[in-house]
C-alpha cells in the first residue's frame, strides 16, 4: 500500500512538473509581420511554419486556417511603430554611461526600419557605417507616467535590431538624425517574441559569419523597465513602439557585400546584406 501511494505521489509530481513546463513554454510566442501576394499580414511562427492571423496583434487577432512557408513571404519589421527610441552607452564593453543617471536617449525614424533578409543600400557618401547589434523592446499597450516596477506590464515582447550608424556623420552633424535614421539604418526582426526573460539573453553579432559582438543582456547598464518608465514621463508610448537597448563591444566599418547578422537567444537571427 505504501509503495502504491508513493508511486502515485511520484506520478503526480511528474505530471505537475510537466504541466508547469508546458504552461511556461506556452507563454512564448513568435509573431511575424510579412508581405504575401501584395498584402501585409501578421502570423504566428512555429516550427518554420506561419499561421496567418485574421488581423493584427494590437489588439490580438485570431489565427486562421491558412499556413505559409518562409519562402512564400517577405519579412517586414515585426510592427509598424509610430516612434522608435534608442539607448546609447548601455554596455560598459562599448561605452559606459552612469548607472545612476538618466539613460542616454536618441531617436531613430520608423522609415529607417527594414526586415530581415532585405538588402541595405547605403548612400554614396556613407563611407563609415558601423553595425550595432541590439535587443529591441516592443511596447504592447499605451504607457504614460508609469513606474519602473509596473513597466514589465507594458513591454509586449522583444526582437533583434541592428542600429546601423555612420560614424563620420555622428561626430560631424549637429544631431544624430542622419547618422542613425537614414533609410535602411534600422533592421529589425525576424520575429517579435513574447514570454522571454529579456534581461538574460545572449546577443551575438556576426560579420560574414565571424562573431564580432557577443554579450548577455544582463550586462545592460540601464534596464528595460527603467528605460520604459523614464520614457513614459515625457512621451506617450503606444502599442508597437520600439526601443533599441544599446550595443555591446566594439564595432567596425562595413563594406559593400558584407553580410551582418544579429542573433538573440530564442528570438532568431536578423540578417541583412550591405550594398552601395
Above 50 in pLDDT, residue 17? no
Q: What pLDDT, on the 0 to 100 scale, is given for residue 99?
A: 83
15 pLDDT more than 70: no
Residue 255 in 3-state DSSP?
coil
Give the residue with greater pLDDT, 154 vs 22: 154
* CA–CA gap between residue 270 and residue 187 (Å, rounded): 8
Distance of alpha carbon 57 from alpha carbon 59, whole angstroms:
5
CATH superfamily of 84-275: Fumarylacetoacetase-like, C-terminal domain (3.90.850.10)
H/E stretch holding 7 reads helix 2-26
Could you report the per-residue pLDDT of 122-157, keeping only the tens digit for each? Answer: 999 999 999 999 999 999 999 999 999 999 999 999
Question: What is the domain partition of the chain in residue ranges?
Answer: 2-76, 84-275
Model confidence band, residue 20 (pLDDT cutoffs 50, 70, 90): very low
Kindly tell me the burial class for residue 37, based on how many C-beta atoms sit within 10 Å of its own C-beta (0-12, 13-18, 19 or more). Answer: exposed
Per-residue confidence (pLDDT) for residue 274, from 0 to 100: 98
Contact 204, 93 (CB under 8 A): no
In the sheet that holds 268-275, the strands lie side by side as 120-121, 268-275, 259-264, 202-207, 210-216
pLDDT (0 to 100) of residue 95: 85
pLDDT per residue over 174-222, tens digit each? 999 999 999 999 999 999 999 999 999 999 999 999 999 999 999 999 9
Indicate the pLDDT class of residue 276, thresholds 50, 70 and 90.
confident
pLDDT at 187: 98
Which SS3 state, helix, strand or coil, does residue 68 take? strand
Which pLDDT does position 100 carry in this prediction? 86
Whether residue 8 is predicted with pLDDT greater than 80 in this model: the reply is no
Give the three-state DSSP class for 258.
coil
Write down the pTM of the prediction.
0.89
Note the pLDDT of residue 27. Answer: 82
Rounded to the nearest integer, the mean pLDDT of the chain is 91
* Per-residue pLDDT, 84: 98
pLDDT of residue 169: 97
Amino acid at each position: 500500500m505504501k509503495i502504491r501511494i508513493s508511486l502515485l505521489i511520484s506520478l503526480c509530481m511528474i505530471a505537475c512538473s510537466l504541466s508547469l513546463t508546458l504552461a511556461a513554454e506556452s507563454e512564448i510566442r513568435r509573431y511575424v509581420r510579412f508581405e504575401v501576394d501584395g498584402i501585409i499580414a501578421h502570423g504566428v511562427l512555429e516550427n518554420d511554419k506561419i499561421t496567418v492571423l485574421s488581423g493584427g496583434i494590437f489588439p490580438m487577432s485570431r489565427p486562421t486556417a491558412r499556413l505559409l512557408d518562409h519562402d512564400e513571404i517577405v519579412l517586414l519589421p515585426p510592427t509598424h511603430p509610430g516612434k522608435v527610441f534608442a539607448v546609447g552607452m548601455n554596455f560598459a564593453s562599448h561605452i559606459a554611461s552612469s548607472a545612476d543617471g538618466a539613460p542616454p536617449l536618441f531617436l531613430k525614424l520608423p522609415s529607417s526600419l527594414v526586415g530581415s533578409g532585405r538588402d541595405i543600400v547605403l548612400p554614396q557618401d556613407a563611407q563609415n557605417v558601423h553595425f550595432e547589434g541590439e535587443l529591441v523592446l516592443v511596447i504592447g499597450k499605451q504607457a504614460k507616467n508609469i513606474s519602473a516596477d509596473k513597466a514589465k506590464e507594458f513591454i509586449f515582447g522583444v526582437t533583434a535590431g541592428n542600429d546601423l550608424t555612420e560614424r563620420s556623420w555622428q561626430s560631424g552633424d549637429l544631431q544624430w538624425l542622419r547618422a542613425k535614421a537614414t533609410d535602411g539604418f534600422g533592421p529589425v526582426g525576424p520575429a517579435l517574441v513574447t514570454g522571454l526573460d529579456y534581461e538574460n539573453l545572449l546577443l551575438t553579432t556576426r560579420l560574414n559569419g565571424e562573431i564580432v559582438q557577443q554579450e548577455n543582456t544582463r550586462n545592460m547598464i540601464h534596464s528595460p523597465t527603467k528605460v520604459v518608465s523614464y520614457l513614459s514621463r515625457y512621451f506617450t508610448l503606444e502599442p508597437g513602439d520600439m526601443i533599441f537597448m544599446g550595443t555591446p563591444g566594439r564595432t567596425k566599418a562595413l563594406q559593400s557585400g558584407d553580410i551582418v547578422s544579429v542573433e538573440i537567444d530564442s528570438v532568431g537571427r536578423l540578417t541583412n546584406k550591405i550594398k552601395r
